[in-house]
Structure 1
Amino acid sequence: MRVEGLALALRPRSPSEACDLGAALVRAHAASIWRCYAPLLVAVTVLALCTIETYGWLPALIIFWLKPWLDRSLLFVLSRAVFGEATHWRDLWQARRLVLGGQWLRTLLWRRFSPWRAFTQPVEQLEAQRGSARRKRVRLLMNDHRGAAAGLQTAFTHAEAAITYGLVALVWWFAPEGQRSSVWDWFFHPSAHATGELGMNLAMTAAYTAVVLFLEPFYVAAGFAMYLNRRVALEAWDIEQEFRGAFA
C-alpha cells in the first residue's frame, strides 16, 4: 500500500477501536459499498432461489457458503476507500478477474470456516501472498491477535443470527392479535397452512439475505481495519505518515 496516499489518520489503536474505524469507513463510503455489493448479492440470491423447491434450506446455505467470495468485492471497495476513492460497479467489473476470480477452492473449502478470515483476507487479496510466504505473513499478523480476530467473527455470527430471527419474528409481532396463534403455528407447522413450507423458506431466505446485505460490509470493514492497525504497529505507518506530512 502507498502510505502517502492514505486518506486515514493512522495511529496505533486497540482492536475495538480499529473495528470502530471500520464502521466509520463503511458509513463514509456507503454509496460505493452497496452499489457494488448489492447487485452481486442479489444475483447470487436469485440463482440460489432456483433450488428452493428441491430443498427449502438450500438457498440460505448457498448464500452463507458464498459469503467469503462475496466479501472479496467488499474488500476491493474498502481498499480504494482508504485512499479516498469512490468505486462504481464498472470499476468492480473491470477488475472482476483479479477480485472475483481465482482461489475458489481455498476460499470456499478449508478457509471457509476460518475464525479470523476477515482479518487475514487482505494478505491474500491485497498483498498477493501465496504458499509459505502467506503462512509466514499470517503468523506475523496474528501474533497476540488471534483472540481479537476470533472475537470479531463470533460477535458478527451471533449478530447475524439474532437479526435474522428478529426479522422473521416481526411477522408474529405485526400480525393482528387474533391471528398470532396461526402465525405461530405457521412457524412450526408450515405444511399445514396455505402458504406452506415454500412461504416459510422464502421468508427465511429473504430475511437472511437482508441481514447479509446490511451486516457483511461492517464485518469485512472491521477485519480490514484490524489488519491496517496491525500494519501500523508492525511497520510504523503512523510515524511515516507524520514525517511525510511534515516535510511535504
Structure 2
Amino acid sequence: MKLESLRVELRPRSPWEAVELGTALVRRNAAAIWIPWLLLVVPVFVAINLAALAVDRIWIAWLAMWWLKPLFDRIPLFVLSRAVFGEAPTKRQTLAAQRGWGWRAMRGHLLWRRISLVRALSLPVDLLEGADAARLRERRRVLGDAVRGQGMLLTVTCLLFVVALSLSMLSLVMLFVPWEFLSESMRATWSLLTVQPPPWAQFALHAVVWIATSVIEPFYVGAGFGLYLNRRTRIEAWDVEIALRRMRTRLTTTATALLLAIGMVSLLPLPSQAAAARVQAAQDEGGRKLRSQPSPAAYEGADVVGVDEVFGEAWVDDADFAEAVEQAYRDPLLRPKRTESHWRKRDQEKRQPPKALPFPWLAKAIAFVGEFGLWLLLGGLLVLLAATAKRWLPWLRAGLADRSEPAPVDVADAALPDVLPEDIAAAARRLWREGRPRRALALLYRASVEAMARRADVTLVPGATESECLRASRRMPDPADRDAFARIVRVWQYAAYARRLPDEAEFDAMLGTLAQRFGWAR
C-alpha cells in the first residue's frame, strides 16, 4: 500500500468526521460511481421485476433486489478504494472488475451477514484486505468494535433517508392535482396501491423505492469506507508514517545537496599548492634561489585561510540539517494542535449556594409532593369519581344499554336467481329507484362476473372471491374491459363490507360504462 500517494489528509478524526470524509469522497467521484451503478443495476432490476410479474409474485422482486444489494455495493467501494490512492478508475474498468472482484467475500455478505447493521464497515475489511477467514474475523473485531454504535446508527439513518426520499417522490405526484380533487385522488391512489394493484403500479412503486436506494446507497458505502480509513489511521498511525516519510524525503534532498557541494570544493586547488607551483615555475625560468621560496609557515597560514574561506561555519555546524529538523517538528500532521472552548460562570467562586434553606419544612413538603405527586393526583381523581358517581353512573348505564351491536354485513343481496334478466341495465336501474341500491349493485356485480368469465375464457370455482375474480380478469384482452370490471368490484366491496354506497350520478355513470363494455345497452 503506497501511503505517500494518498489523495486525502490523514489524521485522527471523530467517527462522524470520518463519515463526512467518506461522503465527500463519493461526491468528488460521483460520475465514476453512479454511471457504472446504473449500467449494472438497471438491467438487473428490469429482468428481476419482469420475471416476478410473469409469475404474479412481485414480492420476489423486492426480496431479490434487497438481497443482492451487497453485490451492487462493490461498485462504489471499488471506485473509492482506487481513487483515494490515485486516479479514479474508468467506467469500463469498474464494470470489468465486478466479474471477479470480491466474490469470495460475498458468500458471507449474502448469507449469514446479510442482515448485519454494520455492513458498511465490514465490507471494506473483507474486500480490500484479502486475508484468510480467521484473520478477517479478527480484523473485523479490531476495526469495528470501537465504532459499532456509529455503524448501526449510520445504517438506520440511511434507511430513513430512503423512506423519506421514496415518500417525497410519491407525494410529488400530488402537486399536479388540483386542490379540490386532492382528497379523492389520494384515496384513489391508496386504493390503487393496496387493493389488487395492477402490474404497472407494482413496478412503478418498486422503481421509486430503488431510485431512492440508488441515491443513498453509494453514500452509505462511502461513509463506511471513511470509518474504515479512520480506524486504520488511529490503530496503525498512518498519519505519523506519512510525516516520517516526508521528513526522510526532505533530509535526503538536503544531504544530497551538501555532498555535491563538498565534492565540488574538493576539486579546487588549495592556496599552498598554488603558491608552491608558482615558486617552482620561477626557479625554472629565472634561476632564482631557494631563499625566494615562501617559508612553510606561509604555506600553512595560507592553507588555514583557504579552508575557512571555503567551508566557513557550515563545516562545523550543519544549519540546513537543523532547519529541516525544526521544520519537521513544526509539521501540523506530526504535532497537531486544536483549540477547545468551554462555557464557565463568571465569578464562580464568589457565588456559593446557601448552606441551609431558611424553611426546612417547606423543602420537605416540596420533596414529598415531587415524589408522591402522581399518586396523590390519582387518589384525588378516584375520590372525585366516587363522590360524583350518582351523576355519571346512570348516564353511563343508559349509554351502554342503548348501544347496540352493529348489524352483520348482509351479503345476501348477491344471492340472485340463477338466470339473470335479459335487460340487466334496466333491471339494475329499477332496483336503484325502488330504494334497493345494494341489490342493484349485486346484480351488476353478478352480471359483470359472468361477462368477464366469457371474455377471459375462464371457469370460476363456486364461491369465488372478489380477489380471484380480479386475477381472472387480467386475461381479458381489452384494458378498458379490465378497468371497468375492477371499478364495479371496488364499488361492490365498499357497499357490501363498508356500507359506502355511490351517489346516483356515480351509479348512472358506472352503469353506462358497464352496459357499453359488456353489451347490455339496448
TM-score (norm: length of structure 2): 0.45
2:365 match: none
Counterpart mapping for 1:164-243 below 5 A: 164-190=166-192, 196-243=197-244
- Aligned counterparts of 2:194 and 2:152: Cα–Cα separation in 1: 42
2:58 match: 56
Could you tell me which amino acid in structure 2 is paired with residue 73 of structure 1? I
Uncovered stretches (5+) of structure 2, i.e. residues with no partner: 250-522
Uncovered stretches (5+) of structure 1, i.e. residues with no partner: none
1:152 aligns to 2:154 (yes or no) = yes
Residue by residue over 1:201-240, the C-alpha shift from the partner in whole angstroms, topping out at 9 and shown as x without a partner, is 1221121121122111100000000000000000000111
Q: 2:105 touches 2:126 (CA, 8 Å); kept in 1? A: no
| SS of residue in 2 equivalent to 1:9 | coil
1:94 match: 96
Counterpart mapping for 1:22-33 below 5 A: 22-33=22-33
2:141 match: 139
Could you tell me which amino acid in structure 1 is paired with residue 24 of structure 2? A
1:114 match: 116
The worse-fitting range, judged by mean Cα deviation, of 30-39 and 227-236 is 30-39
Residue by residue over 1:133-187, the C-alpha shift from the partner in whole angstroms, topping out at 9 and shown as x without a partner, is 1111111112321111111111111111121122112222332324323432233
1:61: Cα distance to partner? Answer: 2.9
- Aligned counterparts of 2:24 and 2:95: Cα–Cα separation in 1: 26
Cα gap change, 1:191/1:38 in structure 2, threshold over 3 Å: closer, same or farther?
closer
Q: CA RMSD in A?
A: 2.1
Q: 1:32 touches 1:86 (CA, 8 Å); kept in 2? A: yes
Residue by residue over 1:42-90, the C-alpha shift from the partner in whole angstroms, topping out at 9 and shown as x without a partner, is 1221112211352233333322221111001211111011023122222
Cα gap change, 1:182/1:24 in structure 2, threshold over 3 Å: closer, same or farther?
same
Cα gap change, 1:171/1:57 in structure 2, threshold over 3 Å: closer, same or farther?
farther
The worse-fitting range, judged by mean Cα deviation, of 94-103 and 145-154 is 94-103
Cα gap change, 1:92/1:2 in structure 2, threshold over 3 Å: closer, same or farther?
same
Residue by residue over 1:110-130, the C-alpha shift from the partner in whole angstroms, topping out at 9 and shown as x without a partner, is 111111011111111000133
The worse-fitting range, judged by mean Cα deviation, of 36-45 and 229-238 is 36-45
- Aligned counterparts of 1:37 and 1:109: Cα–Cα separation in 2: 23
- Aligned counterparts of 1:186 and 1:87: Cα–Cα separation in 2: 48
- Aligned counterparts of 2:75 and 2:102: Cα–Cα separation in 1: 7
2:45 match: 45
After TM superposition, what 4+ stretches of structure 1 lie above 4 angstroms from structure 2?
none
| SS of residue in 2 equivalent to 1:115 | coil
Cα gap change, 1:236/1:103 in structure 2, threshold over 3 Å: closer, same or farther?
closer
1:8 match: 8
Could you tell me which amino acid in structure 2 is paired with residue 247 of structure 1? R
- Aligned counterparts of 1:21 and 1:161: Cα–Cα separation in 2: 24
- Aligned counterparts of 1:80 and 1:157: Cα–Cα separation in 2: 27
Cα gap change, 1:87/1:202 in structure 2, threshold over 3 Å: closer, same or farther?
same
1:191: Cα distance to partner? Answer: 7.1
Q: 2:74 touches 2:98 (CA, 8 Å); kept in 1? A: no
- Aligned counterparts of 1:192 and 1:233: Cα–Cα separation in 2: 51
Among 69, 73, 76, the residue aligned to 1:74? 76
Cα gap change, 1:26/1:145 in structure 2, threshold over 3 Å: closer, same or farther?
same
Q: Which has the higher contact order (CA 8 A, sep 6+)?
A: 1
Could you tell me which amino acid in structure 2 is paired with residue 16 of structure 1? W
Q: 1:60 touches 1:208 (CA, 8 Å); kept in 2? A: no
Residue by residue over 1:17-47, the C-alpha shift from the partner in whole angstroms, topping out at 9 and shown as x without a partner, is 0111011101111111112211111122111
TM-score (norm: length of structure 1): 0.91
Could you tell me which amino acid in structure 1 is paired with residue 240 of structure 2? I
Could you tell me which amino acid in structure 2 is paired with residue 180 of structure 1? L
- Aligned counterparts of 2:168 and 2:236: Cα–Cα separation in 1: 43
Give the structure with higher Rg (CA). Answer: 2
Could you tell me which amino acid in structure 2 is paired with residue 3 of structure 1? L
Identity of aligned residues (%): 38
| SS of residue in 1 equivalent to 2:58 | coil
Cα gap change, 1:192/1:147 in structure 2, threshold over 3 Å: closer, same or farther?
closer
- Aligned counterparts of 2:185 and 2:2: Cα–Cα separation in 1: 56
| SS of residue in 1 equivalent to 2:88 | coil
